[in-house]
C-alpha cells in the first residue's frame, strides 16, 4: 500500500455523475484523506469566480479530480458553446486554481479525442498510446474536439496536471443510464435487438476506474510525481458494442444470438463515432499503476454482484 505523507483533501468535481459517484463510494480511498464531493449545484466550473469560491481552502498537497463533463455526444453537435464551456473552459479554470495553490489536478478525458484518422485505413488498428494524442488526435465531433481542447487548456494553465483518458464507461445498474443498463432493460422487453458491430473500444467499469484513480491519488500524495502525464485507464480487452451487448445477455442467462449485428451506416447518429478507439494500458502500467481487470470480469461483477472499487 502506498502511504500518504501528509493529511490532504481530495475534491471530486462532478460528484453526482457516474464516475464521481463511483469515486465517492469507492473503498479504495486512501486512509487519512478527506474527500469533498462537489456537484454542479456546488460549483460552476465554467466560471473562474465559482471555481475560486468552491476551492477557497485548496492548498499545496491537496488533489482535485475533475470528473465533470458535457457527455452528450450527439447533443454537443448542436450545443457547441455549452460543450466547450464545460469540457474546455472548465478544466482551464480548475487548472488555474490548482496551479495557484500548488495542488495536484487529475483531469478525466476520453477516447473520443481520437477520430477515424487514428485508425488509418485499417478497420482494426493497434491500441492507441497517449503519444498519439498530441500528434495524431483528430476528433471529428464537437464532443471530442471540446475534450481535446480541455486537455490542452489544462496543461497550459497547470503543466503539472495529469490527464487520464478512459472509454465506454458503464455502471450497469439503475439509476445510471448507460449502455449496459439499457441492454439489461431491453433484454426483458424485446425478443431481438440490433446493435452496431463495427465500432471497437474499451469497455470500462466505473468502480474499477475509480479504484485506479484513487491509486493514482495515493501515489501523488506520497510524492511520486506524475505531473505533465497523459495516461490511459480502461478495463483490459476490447469489444464492439455488439460484443458488449451479447456479453450482457450471456451473463443474464439469455441467448446472446438475440442480439443481431449491424453496421454504423445502418444506425446513423448525429455525431460520428470512432471506428476504433481501443486505448493502450502501457502508459498506466509504465507509471507503476495496477492494470484494470478484463472488462468481461468487471461486467459480470456489475450485473451479478456489484461492489465498490
- List pLDDT tens digits, range 135-190: 556 788 999 999 999 999 999 999 999 999 999 999 998 889 999 999 999 999 99
Asked whether residue 195 is domain-assigned, the answer is no
Each residue of 256-283: pLDDT tens digit?
999 999 999 999 899 998 889 999 999 9
What single DSSP character describes residue 279? B
Task: Count up the domains in the chain and report the number.
Answer: 1
- Separation between Cα atoms, residue 38 and residue 288, nearest integer Å: 29
Q: Answer for the pair 45, 13: CB distance below 8 angstroms, yes or no.
A: yes
Read out DSSP for 53-90? HHTTT--TT-EEEE------HHHHTT-HHHHHIIIIIH
The answer to whether 6 touches 194, Cβ cutoff 8 Å, is no
In a domain, 81, yes or no: yes
What does the longest C-alpha to C-alpha distance in the chain come to?
57
- Residue 132 clears pLDDT 70, i.e. is over it: no
Q: Which domain, by its residues, includes 209?
A: 9-169+203-236+277-293
What local confidence, expressed as pLDDT, does residue 174 receive?
84
Rounded mean pLDDT of the chain?
Answer: 92
pLDDT at 203: 98
Asked whether residue 117 is domain-assigned, the answer is yes
pLDDT, average across residues 209-225 = 94
Q: Which three cell numbers stand for residue 188?
A: 426483458
Q: Is residue 36 part of a domain?
A: yes
Q: Is residue 243 part of a domain?
A: no
pLDDT at 3 over 50: no
Q: Mean pLDDT over residues 95-116, rounded?
A: 94
pLDDT at 162: 97
3-state secondary structure at position 182: helix
Active site residue 143: yes
Residue 62 has pLDDT above 50, yes or no: yes
Active-site entry in 11, 84, 112, 143: 143
In a domain, residue 71? The reply is yes
Beta strands in the chain (DSSP E): 9-13, 34-38, 63-66, 104-110, 162-166, 169-170, 193-196, 200-201, 204-205, 230-232, 239-240, 259-262
CATH of the domain at 147: 3.40.50.720
Q: Taking Cα atoms as reference points, which of 242, 87, 217 lies closest to residue 151? A: 87
Provide the pLDDT for residue 5.
Answer: 47
**CA-CA distance, 272 to 274, in Å (whole number)?**
7
Residue 193 lies in a domain: no
Helix (H), strand (E), coil (C) string for 282-301: HHHHHCCCCCCCEHHHHHHH
Region 10-28: what's the mean pLDDT?
A: 97
- Determine which of 120-124, 260-264, 292-296 has the lowest per-residue pLDDT on average: 120-124
Alpha-carbon span 306 to 299, nearest angstrom: 9
What's this model's pTM, rounded to 2 decimal places? Answer: 0.94
Report whether pLDDT(297) > 90: yes
Other C-beta atoms lying within 10 Å of the C-beta of residue 96: 19
| pLDDT-based confidence at residue 226 (cuts at 50, 70, 90) | confident
Share of the chain above pLDDT 70, in %: 91
Distances (CA, A) of 276 to 24, 119, 125, 261: 31, 6, 7, 17
Across 8-17, 114-123, 169-178, least confident range: 114-123
Q: Is residue 62 part of a domain?
A: yes
pLDDT at 126: 80
Amino acid at each position: 500500500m502506498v502511504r500518504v505523507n501528509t493529511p490532504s483533501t481530495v475534491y471530486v468535481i462532478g460528484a453526482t455523475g457516474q464516475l464521481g459517484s463511483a469515486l465517492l463510494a469507492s473503498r479504495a480511498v486512501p486512509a487519512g484523506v478527506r474527500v469533498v464531493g462537489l456537484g454542479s449545484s456546488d460549483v460552476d466550473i465554467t466560471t473562474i469566480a465559482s471555481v475560486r469560491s468552491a476551492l477557497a481552502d485548496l492548498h499545496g498537497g491537496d488533489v482535485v479530480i475533475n470528473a465533470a463533463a458535457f457527455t452528450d455526444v450527439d447533443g454537443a453537435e448542436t450545443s457547441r458553446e455549452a460543450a466547450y464551456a464545460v469540457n474546455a473552459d472548465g478544466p482551464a479554470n480548475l487548472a488555474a486554481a490548482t496551479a495557484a495553490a500548488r495542488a495536484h489536478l487529475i483531469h478525466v478525458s476520453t477516447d473520443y479525442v481520437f477520430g477515424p484518422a487514428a485508425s488509418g485505413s485499417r478497420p482494426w488498428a493497434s491500441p492507441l498510446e497517449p503519444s498519439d494524442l498530441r500528434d495524431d488526435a483528430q476528433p471529428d465531433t464537437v464532443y471530442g474536439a471540446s475534450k481535446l481542447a480541455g486537455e490542452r487548456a489544462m496543461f497550459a494553465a497547470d503543466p503539472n496536471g495529469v490527464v487520464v483518458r478512459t472509454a465506454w464507461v458503464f455502471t450497469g445498474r439503475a439509476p445510471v443510464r448507460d449502455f449496459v443498463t439499457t441492454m439489461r432493460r431491453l433484454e426483458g422487453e424485446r425478443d431481438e435487438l440490433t446493435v452496431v458491430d463495427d465500432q471497437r473500444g474499451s469497455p470500462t467499469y466505473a468502480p474499477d476506474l475509480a479504484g485506479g484513480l484513487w491509486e493514482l491519488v495515493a501515489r501523488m500524495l506520497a510524492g511520486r510525481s506524475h505531473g505533465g502525464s497523459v495516461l490511459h485507464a480502461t478495463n483490459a480487452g476490447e469489444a464492439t458494442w455488439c460484443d458488449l451487448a451479447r456479453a450482457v445477455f450471456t451473463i443474464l442467462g439469455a441467448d446472446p444470438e438475440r442480439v443481431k449485428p449491424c453496421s454504423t451506416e445502418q444506425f446513423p447518429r448525429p455525431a460520428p463515432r470512432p471506428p476504433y478507439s481501443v486505448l493502450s494500458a502501457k502508459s498506466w502500467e509504465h507509471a507503476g499503476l495496477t492494470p484494470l481487470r478484463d472488462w468481461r470480469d468487471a461486467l459480470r461483477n456489475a450485473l451479478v454482484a456489484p461492489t465498490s472499487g
